[in-house]
């Protein structure tokens, strides 16, 4: 359970970092890797951010499911 939870949390954090880097340096792909697939327009970086953001939202959904499942399992044995 915790492995899936932390995997989702790390994926979401990575996407957020990618978004922040892209907002600050729109041409980071050209600078870091020395390639210029979009001739400096920043479209490829934007596409990477969009794809990773969708993946992060999906990962956050799975993370929430895992968190709720663990919470229910902990409280199921406890009677009020």
- Report DSSP state, residue 38: T
Say what the pTM is.
0.64
Residue among 18, 28, 25, 24 nearest 48 (CA): 18
Domain chopping of the chain, boundaries? 2-76
Q: What digits encode the pLDDT tens for the residues 30-51?
A: 788 887 887 877 788 888 888 8
3, 18, 15, 4: which is closest to 57 by C-alpha?
Answer: 15
Q: How high does pLDDT run on average in the chain?
A: 79
């Amino acid at each position: 359970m915790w492995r899936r939870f932390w995997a989702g949390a790390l994926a979401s954090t990575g996407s957020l970092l990618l978004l922040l880097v892209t907002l600050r340096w729109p041409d980071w792909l050209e600078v870091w890797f020395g390639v210029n697939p979009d001739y400096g327009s920043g479209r490829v970086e934007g596409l990477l951010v969009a794809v990773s953001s969708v993946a992060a939202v999906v990962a956050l959904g799975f993370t929430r499911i895992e968190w709720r499942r663990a919470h229910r399992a902990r409280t199921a044995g406890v009677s009020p």
